[in-house]
Structures are given as C-alpha cells and as structure tokens.
Chain A
Amino acid sequence: MKPLRGGLRLEEKKEASLLPWSITRPSLPRRVRIPFQGQSLVQTGQRVRVGEKIAETSHASLSGTVSRIGRFPHPVLVDSEAIEILSDGKDERLPGIGIERNAWKNLSREEIRKILLESGIDIVGADLVSARDPQVDTLIINACESEPYLTSDHSLLMSHPVEILKGGEILKQALGARDLIVALEDNKEEVAELLKSKTFFHSWSGAKIEVLPARYPLGDERILVRELLGRNISGVFVSTVAEVFAAYEAVVFRKPFYERVVTIGGECVVQPHNFWIRVGTLAEEAVKYAKGFLRDPEKVVLGGPMTGTALESLDVPILKNVPGILGLPRELAKPESVEPCIRCGECVESCPVFLSPALITLAAEKDEFELARGYGASLCIECGNCSYVCPAKRPMLELIQYAQSA
C-alpha cells in the first residue's frame, strides 16, 4: 500500500515501554477522582464497591468511601465536578462482575447497546445509535497508534489478542456491519502476526488484518478510512483498541469500564512501561508506578506528543480516553522563538488533507478570517504536521484553530 501523502515518519520511541510488552498491574492508588456529568448517584460518606455506578456514565474504580463531591482540577477543562473515593485497600467488586457469559452471540443489537451504555462505554454506545443512519457496513479497529511513545494498544493486543478479536465481533454484531478490519502500522508486525495466527487457528473468517506503512497521522480515523478503504467515513465505524477490549469485558463479564492500559513514558521517566490504571487515578500517582521522574520534565503531556495536552499540574485524574502520560525533556519540548513565515512550503507538503497551512496562518495572523476559511481552515484535521515541520517554529496548529474559532 502506498504511504500516506503528507505523512511524517516520526521517531517512534516505542521500544523502551515495550521491554517487556507485558502490562503491569500496579498496587492500588490511594484515591481516585472521577469527573461526572449530570447527577451524582452517591453521597459523601457512602461506601462503594468497584464497578458500582456512581453517575450516568461513571463507575467506581476503587472500593472505599466517597470522601468528597465537588469541583476538582480537570486535565482539559479548568475544573469539573468530580467524585473522590478513598480506597479501603480491599478492591472489592460488585458481585456479578467477572462471571463469564458466553452466549453473547444470541444478544440483539439493542441488548448489546444497553450493556455497553450501562458499562460506561459511552463513546461507543452513543455512537452506535447514531451509527444507524447511515447503515454501518464496516467496523475498523484502529490499532495504528501513530504517535510516538504510545504503546498501550500494542501491549494490550499482545496480551489479549483473542479478547480483542471477540470484542470486534461483538461490536460488529451490534452495528450490523458486514466487514471487520483490524488496521495496524508496519511497526507492529509481531502484533499482526499474532492476530493472523489467532484468526487462523480459530478459523475466524470474519476479521481482516491490514498492515499499513507507518506514517503519522494514519491513526486519525478519517485519514485511516481514506487510506484503507478509499472513501469517506460515512458508513464506517472506527473504534479504538481500548474501547473494543472494554466492550468485550462489558458484554462477556459485565465489567464496567473502570480501568484501562496507559503508557507511562517519555525520556524523563525512570522506567517507561504500560500499566493497568484505574479511571480517576491522579497523574502524580500514576507517574510513581514508573518509578517517578529521573529528571525534571519540561512538559508532562496527557496523550501523545502530537495531539496531547500539556499539563499545568499533575493533580488531575486520568480519564477513560487517555492512552499515555509522557514526561518530555527540555531538549525536545523547550519553547522556541518564532520566526516569520519564509514560504518554504513544507507545511503544504506535509498536510494530509491537501490544505495550504501557510496561507491559512498568514491570513489568521492578520485576522482575515474569511480568507483563512477560503484556504480551507475548517477542513483541518488538527494533526499537527504543519507545526512539526515548520522551520520557523510558527504555532501553526494554534493559528489554524484561531481561524476556525472566528
């Protein structure tokens, strides 16, 4: 398959956290803070068990006492309403979680959707409803993981290949889709081989394993669908590996989404690795699982280095959609002085959606929003390629977002 247009070959930096590729289950955090929307279903002082529903789409990830419900720092928003639970150290689960129910093939689409929603897999569950129009014919499991440092999907696939394939089958059934594709980048050959051998030995005809040349931002779902299927994303459902695994655990074991695999990495961390993290674990506690920082990071990023959020403080919880926490060193993350645009055209060459970022940002700098939109500001997929390649270190992504905001 041809490499992606404008795709960047980024330094992967994935080896450190994959030595070994197993996922470590660390000791329990002392407390968790789980942001929620709507009404809280518990009160201060109440005792909760793991998996207990505490809000509309949130479940307790520790057993213990609800110590406080109020506004707490949030990684992306300034702060948000959250429920804080102090661990009692017992890790007691709700009864019923963990009993295997293998008759999921007999479940109807509605029933699967209900289980997913009840389990806090709101991303998949809510989308499944709207995915009815238009009819979804293809489900893609996005195992590309294009961003550097992140290896949580890689390690999860190596540890639980069959579960993820089954999770794909479950989602495919729920969507009424015809095809199931697992998409991987070519830096994950061992994963592809493992999946292929599993589909072979289980005589699985349903799943296709596709390996694509590793280029950023292949992991962006719209780009992935274009490269894999040559079409628009309409009618295609793209799911992350974490969501698929959570869907499997929800339907087969009735286990709500209260923990996920997170890569704690970056050059500043003592021992980069993948860990099972309970939802709501504070970033500062999670970093300790990797034995802390061996030197002061310039930036701590939640997510990947290209699209993640730089944290102001480590006193924020890790949420369901966070694949990594990275401590980036000064030489990679230091703020650089900005030069004017010299019209070199590197940004145009690197744009996967064929925009002219130079023209958009030059217009944005002069507040010419009509012009910026004319150059395609609203079509930007916010991959950050232009920012990465700009020799003048202009804040390309921020300028395009500024143009979009007006």
Chain B
Amino acid sequence: MVGALVPALLVFFFLFGLQALRVTGLSLASVLLGEWSGAKLLGNKLRLYDGSAVITAFLFALMLPVSLSSGAVALGGFFGIFFGKEIFGGLGQNPFNPALVGRAFVELSFPVAAQGVSLGSASGMSSHLFALALFMGGAILIGRRVIRWEQPVIYGFSVLIFSWILTRGAKTPLLNAGILLTAFFIITDPVTSPLTRWGQRGFALGAGILAVSFQLFTPGLWGGVGSGILLMNALVPRLDEWFRPQQVRL
C-alpha cells in the first residue's frame, strides 16, 4: 500500500527539502526503469501498475542519505530492482528485499557517501517526527488488514528486549526510525517473509535479534538492521520447512 508511506515521505521532504525530492524522484525513475528492463530483457511480465515497484522505490529512497550523488541513487535503484527482483522472475519470486539489495549496492560501491545522515541515523526531533509518521503508516496498514500486527510487535519487542539485555539497559533504540520502517514495511513484505504464521513470527524474532547484534558487535548494512533482514530472507525456505503445518489425512 503506497498510501501508508505518504506520511513518512512528507516528513522526509519537510526535513530534507529539495534534496529529498531529488533522491526520491531518481529512485522512482531508476526503479521503474529497472522493472521495465526486466520485462524487455528478461521477458518478465510488465506490471508497473501494481505498485510494488513504487513501494520499493520509496523505501529505497527513505533508506538513503540525502547527500548521496544522483548517480549513486540511480545506479542503486536500478541495481536493487533488477538484481534483487527481476532476475528471479519478477513479482513473487525474489528471495531478498529489493530495497535492501539496492542499499547494499550503494554501501558497497560508495562506502563513504553512504555514511551520511539517513533515516536510520537521524536523531532528536527529526527521528521523533519520522517515528510518528511511520506509526501512522503502520496504523493504516494494520487497520486496512494489509499486514498482521504481530510482525511489527514481535520485531519491536525483540529489538527492545535484546538490546536491553545486551547493553544492560543502556540502549533501547526502539524509536529509531530505521527500526520502525523495517518493522512496518520490510518485515511485512509477504514475498520475502515466510508463508506460515509461525514462520513469520520466527522471522520477526530472528530479525530483531540480528538487528541488535549487528548494531552492537559488528558493522552491518544500514545500521545493522539491513544485514539482519537479508540474513533472515535467506533463511525463509528453512523457516517454511520447519513451520509447515502438519497435514491431516481425513
């Protein structure tokens, strides 16, 4: 649901102005180009209207520092959608979250520039404003029954509890805008998360623990949160296997 991202985007434009608009516009253009290329070059069915590419573009934009060069944004957007989704066959076939794949490309190719202030590292008033906007978006998604409330809640709690345990109460980064964006929009992407309810709960729990671990112990993608998600994405087939319901012969 693109509408749920609107509050966060508005805050993005409000806080970072024209730069934010630039980044978002480039992201949108490059992602749509990537999707179109997937259709032309790989034979995937062209489905620009279904909004999934648009959501990827907005999420990708929100993960970036607004100081990032236009080239980096465009390359990242294209790479993310093309190598993160299209080469797997398009909608429904990708194991990894394409926005995070794009972000990974940017971090690996432009390591210095990627360190700039983005959603994940915003602090103070900005981060509170983002948090509010993201909660609103989350409320829309849950209210409209697009996502299940358990996933953001389990993810949020696992981040909270695990960081409290590991830092002995020192840090509780729950209101970190990056965590909230992940909780409502990344964890809940049905394509890259498990099929079964219990699998999804395990996914949210694991992602939360990993996010905290990466943040505290080793450097990770997008403040650690991204690495956590990509690792859990890779584990999804395993989770589907473990949590498959017991078939009943009648």
A223 contacts B195, CB within 8 Å? no
Q: Which of A354-402 contact B (CB under 8 A)?
A: 354-356, 358-359, 376, 379, 381
Contact partner, A354, options B47, B191, B247, Cβ 8 Å: B247
> Is there an interface contact between B191 and A343, defined as CB atoms closer than 8 Å?
yes
**Interface assignment of B121: CB less than 8 Å from any CB of chain A:** no
Asked if B250 and A353 sit within 8 Å, CB to CB, the answer is: yes
A345 touches B195 (CB 8 A): yes
| CB-based contact A341/B92 at 8 Å | yes
Q: Give 15 A-B contacts (CB < 8 Å), ordered by A residue.
A: A222-B250, A339-B47, A340-B91, A342-B92, A343-B92, A343-B190, A345-B195, A345-B200, A349-B197, A356-B196, A356-B245, A359-B240, A379-B248, A379-B249, A381-B250
**Which of A341, A345, A353 is most buried by chain B, counting CB atoms within 10 A of its CB?**
A345
The answer on a CB contact under 8 Å between B90 and A232 is no
Q: Is A348 an interface residue (CB 8 A)?
A: yes
Interface string of B194-209 (1 = CB under 8 A from A): 1111001000000000
Residues of A within 8 A of B (CB): 222-223, 225-226, 232-233, 339-345, 348-349, 351, 353-356, 358-359, 376, 379, 381
Query: Considering the chains assembled together, what is the distance between the CA atoms of A272 and B193 in angstroms?
Result: 46
Q: Are B195 and A348 in contact (CB under 8 A)?
A: yes
A359 to B244, CA, bound (A): 10
Quick one: closest B residue to A362, CB to CB? B92
What is the size, in residues, of chain B's interface with A at 8 Å between Cβ atoms?
22
Residues of B within 8 A of A343 (CB): 92, 190-191, 193, 195
Could you tell me if B247 and A379 are in contact, using CB atoms closer than 8 angstroms?
A: yes
Is A376's CB under 8 angstroms from B247's CB? yes
Determine if A354 and B248 form an interchain contact, defined as CB atoms under 8 angstroms apart: yes
Return B47 CB to nearest CB of chain A, in Å: 8
- B52 to chain A: closest CB distance in Å? 8
CB of B103, distance to nearest CB on chain A (Å)? 22
Q: Given A340-B90, A341-B92, A342-B91, decide whether A356 and B195 contact each other with a Cβ distance below 8 A.
A: yes
Residue of A nearest to B246 (CB): A354
A94→B118 CA distance, assembly (Å): 89
Known contacts A222-B250, A379-B247: A344-B91 contact under CB 8 Å = no
A342 pairs with B191, CB closer than 8 A: yes
> B249's closest neighbor in chain A, by CB?
A379
Residues in chain A near residue B190, CB distance under 8 A: 342-345
Q: Which residue of A lies closest to B93 (CB)?
A: A340
Q: Which residues of A contact B50 (CB under 8 A)?
A: 339
Compute how far the CA of A210 lies from the CA of B207 in the bound complex, rounded to whole angstroms.
Answer: 46
A-B residue pairs, 9 tightest by C-beta? A222-B250, A354-B245, A340-B92, A344-B190, A376-B247, A345-B195, A353-B248, A342-B190, A354-B248
Contact at B92–A223, with CB atoms within 8 Å? Answer: no
Cβ-neighbour of B195 out of A226, A340, A359, A381 (below 8 A): A359
* Interchain CA distance A381-B50 in the complex, whole Å: 33
Q: Mark B234-250, 1 if CB is under 8 A from A, else 0.
A: 00000010001111111
Q: Which residues of B contact A339 (CB under 8 A)?
A: 47, 50, 91
How far is the CB of A161 from the nearest CB of chain B, in Å? 30
Known: A339-B50, A348-B196. A355 touches B91 (CB 8 A): no
Q: Is the CB of B244 within 8 A of A356?
A: yes
A223, A341, A348: residue with the most chain B Cβ atoms closer than 10 Å: A348
Contact of B250 among A233, A342, A344, A348 (CB under 8 A): A233
User: When chains A and B are docked, how far (Å) is the Cα of A187 from the Cα of B195?
Assistant: 33
- In whole angstroms, how far apart are the Cα atoms of A349 and B240 in the complex? 13
A225 to B197, CA, bound (A): 26
User: Are the C-beta atoms of B245 and A348 separated by less than 8 Å?
Assistant: yes
Residues of chain A within 8 A (CB-CB) of B250 are: 222-223, 225-226, 232-233, 353, 379, 381
Q: Which residues in window 205-247 of B have CB below 8 A to A?
A: 240, 244-247
